[in-house]
Every structure is written in C-alpha cells, then in structure tokens.
Structure 1
Amino acid sequence: MARPPRPPRLLRSLHSLRSLRARSAAAAGLAAAAAFTTGAFWLSHSLYDSQLNDAKVAAQARLDVAVADMRTGHVPASGLLLGDRVYALVLDSGRLLEVSPDLEPFRAQVAAQLTPLPEGGQVSRTLTLDAPVPVPATGTGTANRLAHRTLPLYGQSAGGIDGRALLSGFGEPDRGERTVTAYLLVPPWDAERVQESVQRLLLVAGPFAVLLVAAIAWAVTARAMRRVEAIRAQMASITAQHLDRRVPVPPTADEIAHLATTTNQTLQKLDHAVTAQRRFVADASHELRSPLAGLRTSLEVALTHPDRTDWPTVVRAARADTVRLQHLADDLLLLARPPVAAPAHHTRVELTDLARDVAAELPHGTSRITVHADRPLEVPGNAAQLHRLLRNLLENALRHAADHVTVTLTEDPGPDGHWAVLEVLDDGPGIPAPDRERVFAPFTRLDEARTRDTGGAGLGLAIARDLATRHHGTLTLADSPAGARFLLRLPLPPHPARTP
C-alpha cells in the first residue's frame, strides 16, 4: 500500500507555527515582553528620579557652603563662586551680577525670571529656558542641552557682604554691606546618563530575555506534548478489537497524568460496555434461536407429510411460538433503549391500586398475593412502564414462591428526600447473597435446569431494574429470614406538608 505524500515543507512549517507549543511560546514571549517593558520603564524612571533627587540634595548642600563663604568673605574671584555649577548671582538691587558660562546665552531670560531675596531668605522653584541657542565656540555645548528645559532651581540670600571682598569684582562700587542672592540650577545630566546607560543595557538584554522565556516555554510545552502525543498515538491504535489496550500514564502527578488516568478509566468502561453488548447480542441470539428452530422444525415436518399433519395443531403451536418471539423481541427492544431516556412524567400513579390490579391479572394472583399499605402513595411516572415493572416483580415472585407473596407499601422520609418503598417478599428458597446482583443481568437464570418455557428468558428482573432507574428509583435485593425480598424505591413528589 502506497504511503500518502507528505505535505510540502511550507505547510509543515505553518502547521508547526499553529501548534500548541508555538502558541505557548508566543504567549510566553509576549507576556515576558510586556512584563519586561513595564519593568524597564519603571526601573529607568525610578533610577532617573533617584539620581535627580541626589543631585538636588547635593546642590542644596553646595549652596549652603557658598552662602556661608560669602558671609565670611572667603570667596575667590568672580567666576569661581560655585565652581563648575550652573549658577546665577543677583544683587539686592535686582541687578544680575554673574551667571555661569552655561547660562550666559540665556542671560536675558535669567535676569527676567530671578529676583533678589530678603536677607536669610531661600526658595525652591524652577527656571524655564526657552530660546534656542547655538553651541558655543568653546566649552562643552551644555547650553544647547539647557535650551527648551524647565529645571529645578534653589535660591538663598547672604547678607552683610563686604563690597570690597566680593562686589568690587563685578564693578559694583563700595557702598558698605550688601545682600546677594545665589541661585543654583540642578541639571539632570547625571540622572540622564544613568538612565541612558540602563536603557542601553535593557535594550540589549530585553530581546534576549524574551527569546529565552519563549525558548523555555517551547521546550517545556514540547516535553509535555510528547506525553500527550504518546497518549494520542495509543488512542489512535485502539480499535474495537483491542479495547484491552491502555494509554501510558506519565510518572508525574500533573494534569497530563490525570488525563491519561481518566482516558484509561473511560477505555475500561467502554471495554466493559462493549463486552456486555456482545454478551447481550450472543444471549439474545441464543434465546431467539431455540423458538425459531422449533418453529421451523414443526413447519418442515408438516410440509414433508402434509396428508398426515394435524394442521390446526401445527398452526396453534406456530402461533404460540410466534407470540413468544414477539414478547422476547419487545423485551429486547425495551432493554436496548438508551438508559438516559426518562419516562414522561405527565401523570401520577397510585402504587397501591396498581399493585392490586397487577395481582388480579396474574393467574392465582388474587389468592396468592397480599397487598398491605398504610395509605395511598402516588409517584410521578409512566403508568404503563410502572405496570410492567410490578408485573415482572410479581411474576418472578410467584414463580419462586412456595405458597404466598406479600407486597408492602410504606413511605420513607429519608435524609435524601421522601420515597415510596414497595417490598415484594415471597416464601420461596430465596437468592444467595453472591447472586443478588447477578439476577438483574439480562438472560440470567440461577436454576439452569429450568426450561425456558417455565423459567422465561431471564429478562424480567433486568427490565424491572431498568424501568426503576428510568423513574429515578432503585430496585435491590435485601436480607430476609426466608425467601427473596425485593425493595423498589421511587421518589415521591414534593408536598406542601413536607416542604421545610
């Protein structure tokens, strides 16, 4: 047999991309990318804020030192007041004494925004630098970096400054002690450098981390899917002729192991169901073969010797065999219905009257069957099916009773609801405990010596239990000092007096 052609490589690649492990890897990668991006954004801004706060603290400390130096007069010449800081000095008259080289292109803006502070005053505010400026011919080009920025600014005034010690360097005449306000800007250069370094690192590490997470997800999912594939392959090889096979159960206690265990349990149930079905078909064929063989034999003998045949007798025997076959076919069809099919609960059936009616229909039932009931018990259900159920029970009891059958109806207010309990007790030999469940299987006869004519096909109790189950009830065999004791439990309908 020729092997089917393999799909093209492109189709296999597309199929691989649609596989569960590909989707898992993609989902893990996307989740990692989202988490990594969020974490990187948070880390970058956190480091920036931390570095900027450190710069602010350092600027404030440097300003305190500069103001103290101005008060004591220990200040170098102009231009070295605050070292390489970005600063501005404002006289108490409002004149801008000096700005650092970085602020020189913005002198007009600085002079318009900075005002003198009273002696001992201090302020924390911002300075906006809007005008674009060219890169200075000398220097580091910091002025361009300051353009279009709004930066934090700290100001503090120093009073009692000797003009000869400081102010004369700015061309200010000596008029005694004066007050000078020093403003110190806080450029975010260090914070931005740290932020850029972290961003470069994250830009390189981010894709690698995402690919690593996706690869791990791919590997883990592929390993898990190998076990699933083993289960699938074994399931694909199981046919109706090999229902005894089971799928491999991984040694792990994860969901795949639970799936394999559940699959094996389902296969076991299916195996039992198919075995029961085959046994049922075999038993049904065996039961049908005997009356058909007898009917064929009698007709062939009559046709072979037509002049010596009592045709009325042959026809009556054929009719009896036909009726028996019809009853057997009806029973088989009843048992073959789906077990989930519930009867139509359109009516309420009074069990006491039904039991008495069934007893009156049976041969010698009126004299051999006694019905006891404290009060009427109505159950929802199908009257015809319940009639068949009771008839099968009573026929079975009469068949095995030595003399008498007792039917007792009671109500059981159990914890799981109210039940109508119908007990059928005969005075026969009883049923051994090991066989109490087997008697409800189709075609079961405990007395193999009994003929099919006297013992039936062995379907009565199976049909009775099936009808009880369809009415959401139970049919069981209970202990009894003598004889067989069948207990039929059927749910009673809700009643206002029973409602808590």
Structure 2
Amino acid sequence: MRGPAVPWRPPLFPRASVRVKTTAGAVAVVAVALLAGSAGLLGVIHHGLVGSAERTALARAEAVGSVTGEGRLVERLAIPDGEDSLLQVVTDDGRVLAASENLAGRGPVASFAPAPDHRSAARGLRLALHPRPGQQPFRVVAVRATGIDGGPVTVYAGTSLATAEYTQRLILTAMAPGIPLLLLLVAAVTWRSTGRALRPVEAIRAEVAEITARDLGRRVPVPASRDEVARLSLTMNDTLDRLEESMDRQRRFVADASHELRNPIAALRAHVEVGLAHPGLLRGQELLDDVVRVQQLADDLLLLAGLDAGRQPERTALDLGALAELVLARRGEGRVPVALERAPGAVVLGNRGQLARILDNLLDNAQRHARTGITVSVSACAAGGGAGSAVVEVHDDGSGVPEADRERIFTRFTRLDASRSRDAGGTGLGLAIARDLAVAHGGTLGAGTGPGGRFVLRLPVESAMPAPR
C-alpha cells in the first residue's frame, strides 16, 4: 500500500558543489546581517536626531508660552542666527499674534494642537520659509498657552530636520560601496577557506575511487591537521584494513574449503565408480563415512558463514553445569572416560545449541588426544564489581599443545596432527567454530598452560551479559 504522495521540491542550489553552497550561504548570511545592521543604525540615528530637534523646539515653545502669559509678547519672535527654526503664536480663531522673521506675513503654519490632557504635541511637516524657496523638513511642536487678553493660544515651534536627512544620506553614501566590497571579501575568503578545507576530502575521494576489490592495499592520505577530515581519513583507513582482512580471510576460507572438500568428494567418486564397475566390491560403510564427513564439513561451513554474517539466535538463561551433564549423557561412552566437576552459579545467557556445540567440539578434540581420561570442570568466578564469569575447563592427559601453536590451532582448517589423516585429525574447523561461538556470546576461549591439553572457556554470567544486538 502506497503512502501519501510527497510533493517534490527543487533544491535551492541544484548540482552545486559544497564549496559553492558554503560560499553562497556565507554571503547571504553576511548580507542579511549588514542590511539589518545598516537599517538599525539609520533608525537609531534618525530617532536620535529627530528627538533632539523635538526637545529643542519644545523648549522654545514653552519659553514663548511663558512670556505670552506675562504680556511681554512681541510681534517678531527672535531665533538664533543661522538656524533653520520657526516660531508662531496663533489664537484659536486663526489669528497670528507673533511669528519669527521667516514666517512674516504668513498664516498659521499648522492647525494641530495638543489634547486637553497633554502638555504638547509634535508633528513632522515640510514647509517653505522666507526667504528660502522650496519646502524643508521640520519637527514642529505645539504648546498651549495663555494670551495677552487671557484667552488660549497655541505656540508653534519648529526645528529643521535637514541635518538629520543629510546625516542619513551621508551614511548611506558611505555604506553603499562598502557593503558590496565587504560581501566580495567574504565570498573570496570563504571560497578560498572552503577550498583548502575540502582539498583533503577530494584527495580521499580520488584515492577511494582508485581502490578496487583486487587492490585493497591502498590507503587514503591522512592530512597533518588533527581535525574532522583527519579523523575521517583514519576511520576510512581502519575500515579498509578490516575490509582487506575480511577479503583475505574469505579467500583463504574458500581456498581451504575447496581443498578440504576435494579429498572426501574424490573418495566418494572413487567408491561410486567402483560400485558401478564392480558391485560386489562396494564398501557401504566407507561410502557412508565419506558422505557423513562431507555433510559435517558442509554444516560447519554454513555455521561459520552464519557467524561471519553476525546472526544472533535466540538466547535464554542456561546453567552450564547442567548443559555439560546433558552433553556428556548424550555422547555416551567415548574412547576414554570423561569426569564432570560442576559448581553452582554458572548461569549464562546464551543459545543452548551453540553452547552445546562448543562443548562437543572441545570434547571431540580431547577424545582424539587424551591417553587415559578427560576432566570437564564448570565453575563460577566472581569479579571485583560483583558480576563475574562462568568458567568451563576441558582437560585431557594427552601431549598438550605447544606454546607456539596455542593461537594457531583456532585458525580455520588448522590441524597439528602429523599424519593429518581423516580418522585422527578431523576437519580443522572444530576449535575455530568453538572460539567464534564463544566470542559471539561475549566470552573467550583459549588454550591453557600446564601438563596435557587444557582449554578454558569464559562466559559472562547472566547479570553481566550484554543484551544481544
């Protein structure tokens, strides 16, 4: 059943490289920051200049309003020389009682007045003053006062905003060429820095592209820096090491399996050809033994393939002592007797069939090399942190394993028997399978020291066993 259709959205930078995307992103971020900062700067400057002009106009309007109530109002109101300002006193019926020189002969410059509950009101206006032609920006303030005859009047005082507009234009003129130049500088620096940072990545990509299944010995270059790219190179080289080791191990495994299968298959073919040519000479037991040997070898190969693939079967809590007792009872009498020594507490989390296979393989190996007897001991060993391990030791009184070969015997298809005969030597997979199964259960398996053959299996007890992945 199909899910809901997701609308396709084109990418922001289709087919663009990381270098292009990084440069474009950096330029865009800086551009937005510069524009926002410039707008904020202009806003703050404009607000400050307008506020200053309004405060100046308000002070003059209040000063004129105070003298108006005292009856000292003159027809021409004085303003500082060289300053674009205006003053005007207007009655409620529109008569101009007094004005500054630049408003001589003009009617009211404004008609707004402060609300009854406000001391003053301010507006931005554009006015043309005598003798300068053309309109100019002013911040005009209105203040209510008392006239000479005791009636209400409105005092209008204005301060020019030409300086504020000139300052804004000056800032814009200074920033206009600077912002593009700064963006070009950011783009150049980002382009160069990104190129230098990605140069090792390109070298890694080129080297990986040259690596093939037939040439896994090559490794990617590791830059001298200790940054993320260097760690990526080291990780890739480690991965290539593991891949090469896995491929070599697979090739050796295939070669060894082919070699080990060649002899029993050849023997089977010989038996079949003899049986076809001379039915009376056919030895059924030998034929059956060869068939069983091929079947066991095929089963071992399938089990190893499953372990290499990381398959995790179902696990339950098992008592290793009880499992060892069950395995010995199922095996019956062997070439030499087997004694079991078990202690309580050896409970592990594992797969019954795989743990039984470990014990079977260790006992098969001991039966081939023991002289008079085999001892299997199961115990629990406590650790300093509380959780310990379960220990299984399989000891035979045979010739033992030479110290130089105590690790080699766990290699697949390795047999130390001088004759390497089929009856005495086995297939060389038993100990390898046993160790792989032990490792899959979070434990270890190794050859111990001392007289005779000794193999020690250690598995974490149930409370210390990590959950299977």
Written as runs of structure 1 = structure 2, the 5 A alignment for 1:69-468 is 78=76, 80-83=78-81, 84-88=84-88, 97-100=97-100, 107-108=107-108, 110=110, 113=113, 125-128=120-123, 135=128, 138-143=131-136, 145-146=137-138, 151=139, 153=141, 184-300=157-273, 306=277, 310-313=280-283, 315-337=284-306, 338-345=308-315, 347-362=316-331, 364-365=333-334, 368-375=337-344, 377-414=346-383, 415=385, 417=387, 419-468=389-438
Written as runs of structure 1 = structure 2, the 5 A alignment for 1:9-48 is 18-48=16-46
Cα distance change on mapping 1:478 and 1:454 into 2, 3 Å: closer
Residues 391 and 459 in structure 2, CA contact (< 8 A), matched pair in contact too: yes
- For these two proteins, the number of residue pairs brought into alignment is 448
CA distance, structure 1, for counterparts of residue 13 and residue 75 of structure 2: 79
How far residue 107 of structure 1 moved from its aligned partner, in angstroms, is 4.7
Unpaired runs of 5+ residues, structure 1, are 1-13, 116-122, 160-166, 496-500
Query: Could you say which residue in structure 2 is the equivalent of 1:10?
Result: none
- Tell me the amino acid that sits aligned with residue 218 of structure 1: W
Residues 114 and 120 in structure 2, CA contact (< 8 A), matched pair in contact too: no
Written as runs of structure 1 = structure 2, the 5 A alignment for 1:58-73 is none
Cα distance change on mapping 1:114 and 1:38 into 2, 3 Å: closer
Residues 124 and 153 in structure 1, CA contact (< 8 A), matched pair in contact too: no
CA distance, structure 1, for counterparts of residue 119 and residue 451 of structure 2: 106
CA distance, structure 1, for counterparts of residue 13 and residue 214 of structure 2: 33
Q: Deviation per CA, 1:206-263: give whole Å up to 9, x if none.
A: 2333343234323333333333222222212211110001122222222222222211
Q: Secondary structure at the match of 1:108?
A: coil
Q: Deviation per CA, 1:423-460: give whole Å up to 9, x if none.
A: 32333444345543332221122345443431211100
CA distance, structure 2, for counterparts of residue 282 and residue 102 of structure 1: 110
- Tell me the amino acid that sits aligned with residue 287 of structure 1: E
How far residue 275 of structure 1 moved from its aligned partner, in angstroms, is 0.4
CA distance, structure 2, for counterparts of residue 469 and residue 482 of structure 1: 26
How far residue 27 of structure 1 moved from its aligned partner, in angstroms, is 1.4
- Tell me the amino acid that sits aligned with residue 189 of structure 2: I
- TM-score, length basis structure 1: 0.74
Cα distance change on mapping 1:430 and 1:250 into 2, 3 Å: same
Query: Could you say which residue in structure 2 is the equivalent of 1:6?
Result: none
- Tell me the amino acid that sits aligned with residue 335 of structure 1: L
Q: Secondary structure at the match of 1:86?
A: strand
How far residue 69 of structure 1 moved from its aligned partner, in angstroms, is 12
How far residue 421 of structure 1 moved from its aligned partner, in angstroms, is 2.8
Residues 369 and 405 in structure 1, CA contact (< 8 A), matched pair in contact too: yes
Residues 29 and 213 in structure 1, CA contact (< 8 A), matched pair in contact too: yes
- Tell me the amino acid that sits aligned with residue 311 of structure 2: A
CA distance, structure 2, for counterparts of residue 386 and residue 185 of structure 1: 100
Unpaired runs of 5+ residues, structure 2, are 1-11, 465-469
How far residue 298 of structure 1 moved from its aligned partner, in angstroms, is 4.8
Give the % identical residues.
38
CA distance, structure 2, for counterparts of residue 402 and residue 275 of structure 1: 38
CA distance, structure 2, for counterparts of residue 24 and residue 239 of structure 1: 32
How far residue 355 of structure 1 moved from its aligned partner, in angstroms, is 0.8
**Is structure 2 residue 457 aligned with structure 1 residue 488?**
yes
Moved more, 391-400 or 99-108: 99-108
Cα distance change on mapping 1:196 and 1:431 into 2, 3 Å: farther
Moved more, 256-265 or 208-217: 208-217
RMSD over aligned Cα atoms? 4.5
- Tell me the amino acid that sits aligned with residue 469 of structure 1: V
- Tell me the amino acid that sits aligned with residue 47 of structure 1: I
CA distance, structure 1, for counterparts of residue 223 and residue 34 of structure 2: 35
CA distance, structure 2, for counterparts of residue 195 and residue 360 of structure 1: 100
Query: Could you say which residue in structure 1 is the equivalent of 2:4?
Result: none
Query: Could you say which residue in structure 2 is the equivalent of 1:119?
Result: none
- Tell me the amino acid that sits aligned with residue 87 of structure 2: Y
Cα distance change on mapping 1:101 and 1:259 into 2, 3 Å: farther
CA distance, structure 1, for counterparts of residue 182 and residue 63 of structure 2: 47
How far residue 282 of structure 1 moved from its aligned partner, in angstroms, is 0.9
Q: Deviation per CA, 1:324-362: give whole Å up to 9, x if none.
A: 1111111111101144211123x5443222212322344
- TM-score, length basis structure 2: 0.78
- Tell me the amino acid that sits aligned with residue 98 of structure 1: A
Q: Secondary structure at the match of 1:241?
A: coil
Residues 87 and 100 in structure 1, CA contact (< 8 A), matched pair in contact too: yes
Q: Deviation per CA, 1:151-193: give whole Å up to 9, x if none.
A: 4749799x9xxxxxxx9xxxx9xx9xxxx99864344332222
CA distance, structure 1, for counterparts of residue 322 and residue 304 of structure 2: 26
